[in-house]
């Protein structure tokens, strides 16, 4: 008599799962040499392509630091379909992932400044940022290899710029320090492009040129090319000559800074759009 095997009561039945990472990779284009495959990967990346975060290990990180919010959004302008092949054991997918992480990642960084400029201590902010960024780059080394840093600083000081107009001379020093500390975590010095835009918070426009020129004349160390802009939202306004500012209604609908659309397409929102007051490029 043959007995049917039984499962001990203490042992739970479980579904056997395959570990695809240990299986041999498959080739989609076996006849193509590595050099030709690299050319194909490079051809898929173009600044004219929409930015997307599809398939990336993370889509955004957010940190609250000294009355500011720092958001990091990685994107690339390549083929999401090719990148997805890595999950199906195709060697081309793994090669494309390696190519993108070395040559195709862009970082969109948002810094929402909500502090009091007269008491804001940049050194304290920098130390806290460094703790977060070290952890991020240690876990995701490709963050440090980003080929472009697009930094948007949204100036919304506590109480509104209207109350702190006499401290507007502090703007260049604060924003320049923030840009320096962020891009300092790039591990591809000399090969990274930097774009820094100072977006004056909704409702306020600065007309004084002295501080604005000081900001535009700044330069981040290690950048291959750098572009700086001062952007202001165009709204109905009333000029006030005493402060050199233009004040508009205080009650404004908060606008999106970063939009993530279908398919992981990432676009800048209305909060960072407007009229360019000044720009510089080096």
Q: What is the pLDDT of residues 142-189, one digit of tens each?
A: 999 999 999 999 888 876 655 555 677 788 899 999 999 999 999 988
9, pLDDT greater than 70: no
**Mean pLDDT in residue range 67-74:** 95
Is the pLDDT reported for residue 40 higher than 50?
yes
Give the count of domains, the chain. Answer: 1
Q: Determine, yes or no, domain membership for 146.
A: yes
Determine the Cα–Cα distance for residues 58 and 74; give it in Å rounded to an integer: 8
pLDDT band at 62 (very low <50, low <70, confident <90, very high): very high
- Tell me whether residue 154 is in a domain: yes
* Contact between 148 and 192 (Cβ < 8 Å): yes
So what's the pLDDT on residue 132?
97
State yes or no: pLDDT of 254 exceeds 70.
no
Q: What is the pLDDT of residue 82?
A: 93
Q: Would residue 268 count as lying in a domain? A: yes
pLDDT one-digit tens code per residue, 191-241: 899 999 998 865 555 555 677 888 888 898 888 999 999 887 765 444 434
Whether 247 is covered by a domain: the verdict is: yes
Please check whether residue 107 is in contact with residue 54, taking contact to mean a CB–CB distance below 8 angstroms.
no
Q: Is the pLDDT of residue 18 over 60?
A: no
Quick check: 179 and 133 in contact, CB under 8 A? no
- pLDDT-based confidence at 129, cuts 50/70/90? very high
Does position 140 have pLDDT exceeding 60, yes or no?
yes
Residue 226 lies in a domain: yes
pLDDT band with cut points at 50, 70 and 90 for residue 21: low
Tell how strand 238-240 and strand 245-247 pair up.
antiparallel
Asked whether residue 57 is assigned to any structural domain, the reply reads yes
Across-strand partners of 280? 228
The rounded distance, in Å, linking the Cα atoms of 173 and 230 is 14
pTM value is 0.81
The answer as to whether 55 is a domain residue is: yes
Average pLDDT over residues 242-268: 63
The pLDDT of residue 242 is above 60: no
Which of the residue ranges 41-55, 240-254, 255-269 would you say has the lowest mean pLDDT? 240-254
**Confidence at residue 200, expressed as pLDDT on a 0 to 100 scale:** 81
Evaluate whether residue 31 is within a structural domain: no
* 260-278 residue pLDDT tens: 888 788 877 777 777 776 7
Percent of the chain with pLDDT over 90: 47
Q: Max alpha carbon distance in the chain (Å)? A: 103
State the Cα–Cα distance between residues 206 and 274, nearest whole angstrom: 13
Q: Between vectors from CA 73 to CA 69 and to CA 74, what angle results, nearest 5°?
A: 150
Which of 200, 112, 191 minimizes the C-alpha distance to 149?
A: 191
Cβ–Cβ under 8 Å, residues 54 and 80: yes
DSSP symbols for 168-219:
GGGHHHHHHHHHHHHHTT-SSTTSEEEEEEEEEPTTEEE--HHHHHHHHT--
Residue 272's domain comprises 49-77+104-281
- What pLDDT, on a 0 to 100 scale, did the predictor assign at position 272? 73
């Amino acid at each position: 008599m043959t007995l049917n095997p039984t499962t001990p009561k203490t042992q739970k039945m479980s579904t056997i799962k395959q570990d695809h990472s240990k299986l041999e990779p498959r080739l989609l284009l076996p006849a193509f040499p590595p050099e030709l495959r690299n050319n194909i990967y490079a051809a898929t990346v173009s600044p004219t392509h929409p930015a997307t975060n599809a398939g990336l290990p993370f889509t955004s990180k957010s940190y609250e630091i000294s009355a500011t919010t720092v958001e990091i959004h990685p994107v690339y302008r390549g083929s999401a379909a090719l990148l997805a092949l890595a999950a199906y054991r195709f060697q081309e997918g793994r090669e494309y992932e390696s190519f993108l992480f070395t040559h195709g990642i862009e970082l969109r960084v948002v810094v929402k400044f909500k502090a009091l400029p007269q008491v804001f201590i940049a050194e304290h902010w920098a130390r806290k940022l460094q703790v977060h960024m070290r952890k991020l780059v240690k876990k995701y080394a490709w963050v440090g290899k980003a080929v472009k840093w697009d930094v948007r600083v949204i100036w919304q000081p506590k109480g509104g710029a209207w109350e702190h107009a006499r401290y507007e001379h502090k703007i260049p020093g604060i924003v320049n320090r923030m840009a320096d500390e962020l891009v300092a975590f790039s591990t591809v010095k000399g090969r990274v492009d930097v774009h820094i835009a100072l977006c004056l918070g909704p409702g306020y426009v600065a007309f004084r040129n002295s501080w604005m020129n000081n900001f535009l004349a700044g330069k981040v160390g290690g950048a291959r090319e750098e572009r700086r802009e001062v952007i202001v939202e165009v709204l109905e306004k009333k000029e006030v000559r005493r402060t050199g500012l233009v004040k508009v209604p205080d009650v404004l609908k908060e606008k999106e800074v970063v939009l993530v659309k279908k398919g992981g397409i990432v676009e800048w929102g209305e909060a960072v759009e407007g009229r360019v007051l000044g720009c510089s490029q080096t």
